[in-house]
Amino acid sequence: MTNPGKHHGPGGLFLEDLRVGQRFTSGSHAVDEAQIKAFAGQFDPQPFHLDDTTAKSTLFGGLAASGWHTAAITMRLLVDGGAPIAGGIVGAGGEISWPKPTRPGDILQVESEVLEVTPSRSRADRGMVTVRSETRNQRGEVVQTLTAKLVVPRRPSAADKHASFEGGESVATIR
């Protein structure tokens, strides 16, 4: 990965630190033909991801990265500072789309926004955070949108001190 993202302290952000509308910017990563072919050779060996000449006569009109490669690069950019979550980035799932393919020479960067912060009803020590991440190329074109549900820990001391969240839910059923 070329440039690191902006970091937000050594430990990352806990559930209490996250707010709807909060945004993060990742570092950037330059994609080349060799990377595209290496990923495709291992996980998505289809002609439009492996050979530029063959790719020209397909729907892609030229060599394009596997969408799963774009997803994997996006994850790396998020892990490298693009989503500074305490305890790491643990996704339960989400929605993904690839409006445009990633091409050789593209420089990718990820902009993320917090859409939802939901304390767990059953686990006092965590919550779910919905984050929308747009992966753009150097022309500002979106190559991937990912709306992911992440498991985010509460700050340990806060979880011990409070018996309920703002919403009034009881949260101490499991601990």
Q: Is position 34 an interface residue for a second copy (rule: CB under 8 A)?
A: no
Q: Which of 58, 116, 128, 132 binds a second copy (CB under 8 A)?
A: 58
Of 51 and 166, CB closest to a second copy: 51
Give Rg (Cα) of the chain.
Answer: 19
Q: Is position 59 an interface residue for a second copy (rule: CB under 8 A)?
A: yes
Q: Which of 30, 96, 107, 115 binds a second copy (CB under 8 A)?
A: 96
Of 71 and 172, CB closest to a second copy: 71
| Binding piece for a second copy, criterion CB under 8 A, among 67-75, 129-137, 155-163, 167-175 | 67-75
Footprint on residues 113-172 left by a second copy (CB under 8 A): 145, 151
3-state helix/strand/coil string of the chain: CCCCCCCCCCCCECHHHCCCCCEEEEEEEECCHHHHHHHHHHHCCCHHHHCHHHHHCCCCCCCCCCHHHHHHHHHHHHHHHHCCECCCCCEEEEEEECCCCCCCCCEEEEEEEEEEEEECCCCCCEEEEEEEEEEECCCCCEEEEEEEEEEEECCHHHHHHCCECCCCCECCCCC
| Binding piece for a second copy, criterion CB under 8 A, among 18-26, 43-51, 108-116, 167-175 | 43-51
Q: How far is CA 115 from the centre of its chain?
A: 13
Q: How far is the CB of 159 from a second copy (least distance, A)?
A: 14
Of 93 and 168, CB closest to a second copy: 93
Contacts with a second copy, residue ranges (CB under 8 A): 39, 42-48, 58-60, 66-68, 71-73, 75-76, 79, 87-98, 145, 151
